[in-house]
Amino acid sequence: MTGRESSPFIPTVVTLVAVICWAGFMLLHIVFWSSSFDLFQNIAIIGLSIVVAACVIGLMWVSWLFRHD
| 2 domain residue, yes or no | no
Note down the domain range covering 60. 10-67
Q: What is the pLDDT of residue 68?
A: 84
| 63 domain residue, yes or no | yes
| 37 domain residue, yes or no | yes
| 20 domain residue, yes or no | yes
| 5 domain residue, yes or no | no
How many independent structural domains does the chain possess? 1
Amino acid symbol at 55: C
Q: What is the pLDDT of residue 4?
A: 55
| 4 domain residue, yes or no | no
Per-residue pLDDT of 3-60, as tens digits, reads: 456 789 989 999 999 999 999 999 999 999 999 999 999 999 999 999 999 999 999 9
| 1 domain residue, yes or no | no
| 24 domain residue, yes or no | yes
Judge if pTM exceeds 0.85: no
